[in-house]
Amino acid sequence: MNKKRSYTDKEIVEGCSKNDRYFQELVYKQYFPKMLSLCLRYTQDRGKAMEIVNNGFLRVFKKVHTFSSQGSFEGWVRKLVYNSISDYYRKNKKYGETMVFEEKETSQEAKVIGDLYAKDILKYVSKLPPATSKVFELYVLEGFTHAEIGKKLSISDGTSKWHLASARKSLKLMLKQQKKNSYEKQQ
């Protein structure tokens, strides 16, 4: 087969679906740096990040036949890698200090958040104001930088950072309230 330099997402997906190593390598080389960067947001340990990103790509290649061409292929890859991050922290609860809240938490805040997983947090994200929710999703779930978010939403980097900080603050309050309500029901 004559391999050309530029392929459409459809051609890449078809090649990967056929387990063609050339196309799998193409996907890995193209998206690895961004996906590693996404993983390094959640762990400073490069070895753990490599393990997570490789598990993510394994998912990509196992599920590539399910890609429906709705949205970008990169976004789909990013979502699967993010799910690998979530699974890693779910399996390794001792590392689950917080996936979503990158800054240092107090031990009390970590206890409130520690047992919650991405899908639990997402139901609270939907309660945020639309712009704040969108910035949170783009930054945390899709791994965009503040500069990329700014361009995508036509806002400044600083505004993107403000929305992210606001989302974190609001989510912490919602999660604390949920934990308090759960505790009171048990009493």
What is the residue extent of each domain of the chain?
7-96, 105-187
Domain 105-187, classified CATH 1.10.10, yes or no: yes
Q: Residues 139-187: pLDDT tens digits?
A: 876 667 888 889 989 999 999 999 989 988 888 888 788 777 777 777 6
* 77 CA to centre of own chain: 10
Q: Are 7-96 and 105-187 equal in CATH topology?
A: no
The b/e string for 168-179 (b: 16+ C-beta within 10 A; e otherwise) is bebbbebbeeee
Kindly indicate the confidence band of residue 108, based on its pLDDT and cuts at 50, 70 and 90.
very low
Considering the segment(s) 7-96 as one domain, its CATH architecture is Orthogonal Bundle (1.10)
The amino acid at residue 131 is: A
pTM: 0.56
DSSP 35-56: HHHHHHTT-S-HHHHHHHHHHH
How much is the average pLDDT of 118-140? 80
